[in-house]
Amino acid sequence: MAALDLVIKGGTVATAADTFAADVGVKDGRIVALADELTGAEEVVDAKGKLVLPGGIDSHCHIAQTSSSGLETADDFESGTRSALCGGTTTIIPFAAQHRGQSLRQVVADYHARADGRAYVDYAFHLIISDPTSQVLGQELPALIKDGYTSFKIYLTYDALKLDDRQVLEVLACARAEGAMVMVHAENHDIIGWLTEKLLAAGRGAPKYHAVAHAAAAESEATHRAIALSEIADTPVLIVHVSAREAMAQIAAARDRGLRIYGETCPQYLFLTAGDLDRPGFEGAKYVCSPPPRDAANQDHIWRGLANGVFQVVSSDHAPYRYAGPDGKQAHGAGMPFDKVANGVPGLEVRLPLLFSEGVGRGRITLNRFVEVAATAAARLYGLYPRKGTIAVGADADIAVWDPDKTVTIGHEMLHDNMDYTPYEGRRVTGWPVLTLSRGRAVWRDGEVVGTPGQGRFLPCGLPEAARPLDRSVHGFDPVSGAAAADD
C-alpha cells in the first residue's frame, strides 16, 4: 500500500505567512507532509509552474435561504457549493436565519435539513438573530454556541430584522459571556427610510436611487454606533460588507484605539460602482445590494484598506436572486421602485479569481495577503483554524492549485450557480484554479466538476480567539459584574 494517497509535486506553496517550494503529501484527507521530492503516492499531481494555495473560505454567503421579504435564493447547497469549488473555495459559511417568532433551535434543525446530503464541499453555519427574546438569549443561543454555532449576525436595518440599541447590547452581552463572534450589518435604518420616502414621493424610484437612499453617511453612522456599543459591552464585533471609505475610517480609528473591531468587504465594492445601478431600462436592478457600490474613487480606498489591514476578510456576500422570475429582482414586476427590488448580487464562484487578478496581479496586495483575506483570516475569525485556511501538516487537504497565467473572460454561461446573470459579465481576469481538492478528493479538475453532492460535511466551529474581550471597563462600568468603578 502506498504511504500517501496523493502528492502535489513541484508547485509553489503559499500561506498567509510564507511562500516556498515544496511537495505536499496527503493521506486520509489531511496534509501529512511538506517536503522536497516526496514519493510513494497512489496519485501524483504535477504542479510545476502553478501555485498551491489553501482552499478559499467564503464566510458570508446566502444559500438555501428565505429572505425577510419571503423570497428564496436561487442557489441551494448543491448549486452553491458546486459554484464555490469551481472558483477555488472549499468551505462556505452561510446563515441559518431566524425570523421573528421562530425558535432558534428549530431554525438550525430546518437549515440542516436543507443542507444534508447536498453539499460538494464542507460548510459551517452562522446564525441570524432577529428576535433576541429571553428564551433565545438565556437558553437557545448559549446551547447552540456550545454545539459549534459560534458566530451570528445582527442587523441595524430592515424592518423585519433590525434590532434596537438595547437589544444589540443584550446580544453583545450574551456573546461576551459565551465567547462567540458577532457580525453586524451596519446601516442607519431611519436615514434610509427617510431618504427612500422623499425620493419615491418625488418620483425617483429607478434603481440608481437605491444608492442615494443608502447613503454613505447611513453606513458610517451605524458603523460608529456599532463600535460604541461594542466598546460599552467589551465585546468584539465584525462589521460586514463595508462599502464606504467613511465606514472604513470608523473601523480604522477604533482599531487605532486598541479595540477588537474587525472589517469585511466584498468584490462588489472593489469592482462595481453606483454607475452600474444607472444602466439602461431596469438593468440597474441587477446591481442592487445593500450597502450599494459607491463611486469609482471609493474603490481605491477599499483596496487600500485591504492592503493595510483595516479589512481582515473578503467575502462574496453571495445573495443569488435571479433577474427574472417570481423570486428574483422583478418579483414585484419590472420597473418597480428600487425599494421593491431584492437586495443582493451573486459572486461566490468569481470572488477569488477577481481578487487574485486585480489584487495580486496588479500589485495591490501580496500573494500572502491574498491567502490571508481569502481563507486564513476567516478560519481564525470563526473557529475553524488550523483545520481550515492554511497548508500545514495536520490541516485538512483543502487545496486549490492555481494557474496564475490562465486568462478567463467571465460570463454567465461559464459559471456553475443557478443564476441567470453575473454582475461581472465580460470582465477579463488572469489566474484561475485548475484543480480543487476537498479533504484530499478532487472536486474540480481542468474545467470539469468531478466531485459529487453529499461529500461535504458540516463543521462545528470552535470559540475564536478573535472574539475574546479586552477585559477593560468603559466609563467605569464593568460589563461582567455590573459594578461601577467606584463600587470596586
Chain segment 66-92, per-residue pLDDT in tens: 887 788 999 999 999 999 999 999 999
* Its pTM surpasses 0.95: yes
Task: Provide the grid cell at 345.
Answer: 448580487
Cα distance between residue 336 and residue 359, in whole Å: 37
pLDDT band at 488 (very low <50, low <70, confident <90, very high): very low
The number of residues in the chain equals 488
**What SS3 class is residue 428?**
strand
For residue range 397-427, list pLDDT tens digits in order. Answer: 999 999 999 999 999 999 999 999 999 999 9
Q: Fold for 56-386+460-467, please state it.
A: TIM Barrel (3.20.20)
Q: Domain ranges for the chain, please list them.
A: 56-386+460-467
Cα of first residue to Cα of last residue in the chain, in angstroms, is: 66
pLDDT band at 485 (very low <50, low <70, confident <90, very high): low
- The candidate with the shortest Cα–Cα distance to 372, out of 8, 15, 5, is 15
pLDDT at 486: 54
- The candidate with the shortest Cα–Cα distance to 80, out of 109, 116, 120, 117, is 120
Give the pLDDT mean for 105-132: 98
Mean pLDDT in the chain? 96
| pLDDT reading at 487 higher than 70 | no
| pLDDT reading at 465 higher than 90 | yes
